[in-house]
Amino acid sequence: MVAPMNFNEEYTRRIDYIEKILRRYLPAQEGYQKVIMEAMEYSLMAGGKRIRPMLMLETYRLFGGEPGMIAPFMAAIEMIHTYSLVHDDLPAMDNDEYRRGRKTTHIIYGEDMGILAGDALLNYAFETACRSFDLDGEYAVRAGKAMKILAGKAGIYGMIGGQVVDVKESGHEVSGDVLDFIYRLKTSALIEASMMIGAVMAGAEDEDIRTVEQIARKIGLAFQIQDDILDVTSTTEVLGKPVHSDEKNKKTTYVTLKGIEESKKDVERMTAEAIRELNRYPAQDEFLEQLLKSLVYREK
Amino acid sequence: MVAPMNFNEEYTRRIDYIEKILRRYLPAQEGYQKVIMEAMEYSLMAGGKRIRPMLMLETYRLFGGEPGMIAPFMAAIEMIHTYSLVHDDLPAMDNDEYRRGRKTTHIIYGEDMGILAGDALLNYAFETACRSFDLDGEYAVRAGKAMKILAGKAGIYGMIGGQVVDVKESGHEVSGDVLDFIYRLKTSALIEASMMIGAVMAGAEDEDIRTVEQIARKIGLAFQIQDDILDVTSTTEVLGKPVHSDEKNKKTTYVTLKGIEESKKDVERMTAEAIRELNRYPAQDEFLEQLLKSLVYREK
């Protein structure tokens, strides 16, 4: 898909804005423990689509959020996503030496510092989110609500829970139910948190927050299925990581369960549903629609 | 030291109370990800002195806190302490197979689940602490303040920071400055958090919270130095873990820097100072004083 010119410009502008925020909240590299700050920056500033903070910001705008108040949570969600990658890459987990063409954190800093850098990023995510308690009255109350969502969706009933089942079932064939569970927790949960926190901090009603959760679940699922499709249809050069890894690891994926055509249809259907539901909100704009399309029609 | 009979009774009663709270906040063992709940319980319910939640509760009482409101933070601080032990024991860190006479978490559940169980406990600590946002008005505001302290003292400027320097300097001789830094961050920081959060949740004034932080720093330091002393003077049978491990690992400790007699004097002095400062508070009672004495005169 060729996106309209202004989308790519807008997208780049937002990536820049998000990376400026990430840098702002990264700790200064000083003190006897400086190496851990370096490892945090190394992993956090390694590029990536930044879709979680981007979706958070867009949802925040959708519900009329005032500029500035969402920044600590945008940084926090990306720190949580990053810590999960750092720990995933460890020798006892996926044992990956490269990510996005760069050496992984534990390869550069050692396995012990890899573990500690992940711990540090997870903890610092909450530390960063806590800055929102300094905001004025109503925002501090919203921050408490947002913090609950962040912790819940990142934990054993969210991302970590999905990761646990993924690790446990690795090398086994799994049922559609278990696969749904893994995708919903491992991938959708943080997308749900992103969009829900955007809505909460903007002061959205509880009903809208629940709607946003459902929309985000579809987006996360479509995103993950597209990952499965690309593992089959893409090339290592385009993807920047080895393809056919699922087949090699005998991994059950949406594609192995449903076939490639059905998977593509489901991705399109779920994305269209998400866009339709978002379009019910008057403030919904072109960018978010284009963003969702770009995520599911992406080639890497 | 033989403590008065009622101290031991009171101590046991409080341990029981704390363990009841920990069980109450532990997640139910259900779902596809059940194994992680099992690993969390295995590590959290492995015994231990529970000094962090106990000091939190005592400080909360010292400042007139009403029953019940402090429980989520008591559970949270013990979860954070426990996750740090689970990750410390990993093969890439201290590579310990036993702790308190039981196999370590990664030995029972595998190294991948050991990493994830630590992550899960850290994340769940914040999830548990977030329950305090459900409390009424004033308590929810205090909870935001307490959450900031929890995240700050557990992170790179607190416990993790100390752990990083400890790992980095392992096998090297370190200066007194660096050793102070490690002890203050690795051990004192969570003790500081415990007592500060107790004070915050009870509604203490900012000045008192700063005083409590200084008292807790001394208690943490005395506790850590006593650990160093026991490593030299105790036996494996009494201590429940190998003695002379510092010497074997060529580790700089307070004892190697200052000698055993000086170290003992410092422990007594710091403890006496902490008790004297606590005694300025009218609600200060016999139990807390006895507890602090028992911690520094302990034999294991």
- Structural domains of chain A sorted by starting position, each given as residue range(s) with its CATH number in brackets: 5-296 (1.10.600.10)
Longest Cα–Cα distance in chain A: 55
Contact assignment for A164 to B126 by CB distance below 8 Å: no
Mark which residues 105-124 of B lie under 8 Å from A by CB: 110-116, 118-120, 122-124
Residue of B nearest to A83 (CA): B119
Neighbours of B6 (CB within 10 A): 11
Buried b (16+ CB within 10 A) or exposed e, B155-170: bbbbbbbbbbbbbbbe
Q: Where are the beta strands (DSSP E) in chain B?
A: 98-99, 102-103
Phi-psi region of A253 (alpha: psi -120 to 50; beta: other; left: phi over 0): beta
In tens, the pLDDT along A181-224 reads 999 999 999 999 999 999 999 999 999 999 999 999 999 999 99
Is A31's pLDDT higher than 70?
A: yes
Asked if residue A33 has pLDDT above 60, the reply is yes
Of B93, B173, B165, nearest in space to A31 by CA = B165
What is the rounded CA–CA span in Å between residue B164 and residue B209?
A: 27
- Tell me the shortest Cα–Cα distance from B7 to chain A, in angstroms: 36
Which percentage of chain A shows pLDDT scores above 70? 98
Residue scoring higher pLDDT (A176 or A298)? A176
Say how many CA atoms lie within 13 Å of A2 toward its Cβ.
Answer: 1
Give yes or no for a contact between A98 and A90, defined as CB atoms under 8 angstroms apart: no
Residues A62-103 pLDDT 10s: 999 987 899 999 999 999 999 999 999 999 999 999 998 899
- Quick check: B140 and A141 CB within 8 A? yes
Interface test with B, best of A88, A130, A139 (most B CBs within 10 A): A130
> Token pair for residue A79?
């720190």
> What's the confidence (pLDDT) of residue B5?
54
In percent, the amount of chain B with pLDDT more than 70 equals 98
Position B88: which residue type? D
Residue of chain A minimizing CA distance to B92: A112
Record: contact A120-B168, CB cut-off 8 A? no
Chain B positions touching A167 (Cβ under 8 A) are 112-113, 116
Task: Confirm if B278 and B62 have CB atoms less than 8 A apart.
Answer: yes
**Identity at A31, one-letter amino acid code:** G
The closest CB to that of A123, out of B91, B148, B154, belongs to B154
Q: Range with the lowest mean pLDDT among A15-19, A254-258, B102-106, B241-245?
A: B241-245
pLDDT of residue B140: 87
pLDDT at residue A4, as a whole number: 53
Contact A189, A162 (CB under 8 A): yes
Contact of A130 with chain B, judged by CB distance below 8 Å, is answered with yes
Single-letter code of the amino acid located at A127: E
pTM for the whole structure: 0.96
CB A154 to CB B123 under 8 A? yes
3-state class (DSSP) for residue B54:
helix
To test the contact with chain B by mutation, choose from A104, A126, A131, A150 the residue with the greatest count of B C-beta atoms within 10 A, namely A126
Choose among B112, B119, B143: nearest Cβ to A160: B119
Q: Which residue of B has its CA nearest to A166?
A: B33
Q: Which chain A residue lies closest to B32 (C-alpha atoms)?
A: A165
Given A114, A151, A168, which is nearest B123 (Cβ)?
A: A151
Q: What's the pLDDT at A5?
A: 54
Determine the straight-line distance between the first and last CA of chain A, rounded to whole angstroms: 13
Residue of B139, B164, B184 to mutate for A, most A C-beta atoms under 10 A: B164
DSSP strands (E only) in chain A: 98-99, 102-103
CA of B182, closest CA in chain A: separation in Å?
9
